């Protein structure tokens, strides 16, 4: 048997202490991705540190920010009155992800840590630089319909699979991390990485760190927003392309705007240039179309995913239209 040690702890401090003791230890939260990876032989941690009993489930407002504990379930966050009222974009994005059953056990921290769904990554008989360095990228010249069009590398064209994270990057969230040295904060946009020459790394979490929670500034984006996820079936499918869009509009003029895309890159893809273009402009179809075109600069298809070069700008336009028309 591929044995592993199962440990359970009730404080973040002891969890971190257990983690640093063993290089091959992993935190177990909802387990909706980790257990699959273990079953498929993609990963084989020697220690599983069950952190489900660490009290990090709280969702609360502190000053002008919403704090979300790393172990709050996806369902708890999506359904929470604070999130629905103040950060509805996040609630929508969460509900677009996975299935109700998965959302009930999957946690915020786990959602951030989930690994790509690239088929080559999961099949240990196939080449994959992310799983095993130097074996090559199976998707590059293989089945890459689901794969990235932005920020790809020679090593890896996988996409980050989360919906929640697309909303979080748009909402300027911050991640609170803890280690034996204390706590630090990181901008959410800096949490995930591009594949580059290190496709085995999905994020910038250090080996001795634990995700404690999120802090999200309250904004004026709760009225005109939309999370549009285009997928192969209406539920329980990963995004071909998804767009998180939110505005603050006054007299049809865009005061603030947030745009981020999923299903297109190795990390949640914030559309900074498009936002910059739209800020101060009229919320018109023409401007939406121009913003969408701006977003596509440097996009590159790999054959199977060439359709995303058309789908992505279309989805941006449609998401902006729907955000604008939201009453």
Partner 1 sequence: MEKNMLKDENDRVDGFLKVTGKAKYFAEYELPGLTYGVLVTSTITKGKITSLDTKAAEKAPGVIAVISHLNKPSAAAYEQEGGPQMKIFYTDKIFYNGQPIAIVVANTFERATYAASLVKATYAKETFNTDFEKALKDPKAKKFQGQADYKRGEENAYKTAEVKLEERYFLPIETHNPMELHGIIADWRPNNQLTVYAKTQGVKATQGTIANVFKIPIENIQVNSEFVGGGFGMALRTWPLEIATVMASKHIGKPVKVVITRMQMFTMVGNRPAAIQTIGLGANKDGKLTGITHRAYGETSTYENFTEGVVNMAKFMYQCDNVNTSYVIIPVDLGVPIWMRGPGEATGAFALESAIDEMAHALDMDPLEFRIKNDPETDQQKNKPFSSKNIKEAYKIGADKIGWRNRKNKPGSLVEGPWQTGYGVSVGVFNANRGKASVKGILKADGSLLLQSATSDIGPGTGTGMTLIANKLMNIPVNKITFELGDSSLPPAPSQGGSATLSTVGSAVNDVCVALKSTIAELAANSNMDATANFVDVLKKNNLPQIEITKESQSGKEKDSYSMYSFSIHFVQVKVNSLTGVVKINKIVSVGDSGTIVSPKTARSQMVGGAVGGIGMALTEESIIDHRYGRYINNNFADYHVPVNADVPEIDVNFINKPDPYINPMGAKGMGEIALIGFSAAVANAVFNATGKRIRTLPITPDKILA
Which residues of the shown chain bind partner 1 in the complex (CB under 8 A)?
A: 1-2, 41, 99, 117, 119-120, 122-123, 125-126, 138, 141-143, 145, 228, 230, 232-238, 240, 307, 310-311, 314-315, 317-318, 321
Closer residue to partner 1 in complex, CB, 126/169: 126
3-state helix, strand, coil in the chain (%, to 5): 30, 25, 45
Closer residue to partner 1 in complex, CB, 263/268: 263
Closer residue to partner 1 in complex, CB, 30/69: 30
Shortest CB 232 distance to partner 1, Å = 5
Shortest CB 155 distance to partner 1, Å = 18
Residues ≥6 apart with Cβ < 8 Å to 252: 282, 283, 284
Closer residue to partner 1 in complex, CB, 100/255: 100
- Best CA proximity match to 264, nearest among 233, 285, 238, 291: 238
Shortest CB 280 distance to partner 1, Å = 25
Closer residue to partner 1 in complex, CB, 256/289: 289
* Cβ count within 10 A of residue 61: 11
- Best CA proximity match to 93, nearest among 77, 104, 107: 77
Closer residue to partner 1 in complex, CB, 142/196: 142
| In contact, 171 and 258? CB cutoff 8 Å | yes
Closer residue to partner 1 in complex, CB, 126/265: 126
Closer residue to partner 1 in complex, CB, 273/285: 285
Q: Please give the full DSSP string across 95-132, using - where no structure is assigned.
A: HTSS-HHHHHH-BHHHHHHPPP--HHHH-TTS-BTTTS
Residue 227 C-beta-side C-alpha neighbours within 13 Å: 26
User: Distance (Å, rounded) from C-alpha 231 to C-alpha 89?
Assistant: 18
Shortest CB 207 distance to partner 1, Å = 28
| Buried-exposed string 234-268: b where 16+ CB fall within 10 A, e elsewhere | eeeebbbbbbbbbbbbeeeebebbbbbbbbbbbbb
- Best CA proximity match to 74, nearest among 33, 114, 110: 110
DSSP tag of 188: G
Cα end-to-end distance, the chain, whole Å: 57
Shortest CB 201 distance to partner 1, Å = 23
Q: Please give the full DSSP string across 41-66, using - where no structure is assigned.
A: TS---SEEEE-TTSS---EEEETTEE
Shortest CB 1 distance to partner 1, Å = 5
Shortest CB 142 distance to partner 1, Å = 5
Shortest CB 313 distance to partner 1, Å = 9
Shortest CB 123 distance to partner 1, Å = 7
DSSP H or E stretch at residue 187: strand 182-187
Closer residue to partner 1 in complex, CB, 120/225: 120
User: Distance (Å, rounded) from C-alpha 157 to C-alpha 277?
Assistant: 28
């Amino acid at each position: 048997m591929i044995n592993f040690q199962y440990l359970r702890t009730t404080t973040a401090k002891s969890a971190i202490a257990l983690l640093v003791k063993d290089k091959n230890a992993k935190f177990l939260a909802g387990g909706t991705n980790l257990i699959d990876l273990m079953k498929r032989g993609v990963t084989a941690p020697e220690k599983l540190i069950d952190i489900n009993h660490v009290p990090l489930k709280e969702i609360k407002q502190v000053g002008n920010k919403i704090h979300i504990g790393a172990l709050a379930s996806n369902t708890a966050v999506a359904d929470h009155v604070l999130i629905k009222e103040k950060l509805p974009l996040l609630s929508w994005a969460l509900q677009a992800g996975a299935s109700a059953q998965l959302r009930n056990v999957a946690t915020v921290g786990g959602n951030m840590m989930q690994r790509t769904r690239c088929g080559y990554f999961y099949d240990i008989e196939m080449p994959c630089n992310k799983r095993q360095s130097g074996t090559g990228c199976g998707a590059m010249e293989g089945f890459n319909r689901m794969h990235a069009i932005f920020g790809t590398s020679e090593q890896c064209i996988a996409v980050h699979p989360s919906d929640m994270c697309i909303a979080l990057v748009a909402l300027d969230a911050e991640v609170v991390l803890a280690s034996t040295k204390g706590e630090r904060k990181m901008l959410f946009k800096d949490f995930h990485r591009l594949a580059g020459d290190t496709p085995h790394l999905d994020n910038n979490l250090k080996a001795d760190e634990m995700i404690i929670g999120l802090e999200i500034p309250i904004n004026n984006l709760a009225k005109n927003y939309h999370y549009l996820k285009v997928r192969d079936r209406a539920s329980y499918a990963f995004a071909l392309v998804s767009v998180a869009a939110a505005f603050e509009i006054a007299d049809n003029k865009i005061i603030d705007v947030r745009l981020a895309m999923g299903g297109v890159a190795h990390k949640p893809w914030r559309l900074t240039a498009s936002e910059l273009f739209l800020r101060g402009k009229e919320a018109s179809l023409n401007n939406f179309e121009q913003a969408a075109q701006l977003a596509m600069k440097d996009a590159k298809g790999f054959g199977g995913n060439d359709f995303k070069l058309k789908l992505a700008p279309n989805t941006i336009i449609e998401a902006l239209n729907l955000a604008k028309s939201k009453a």
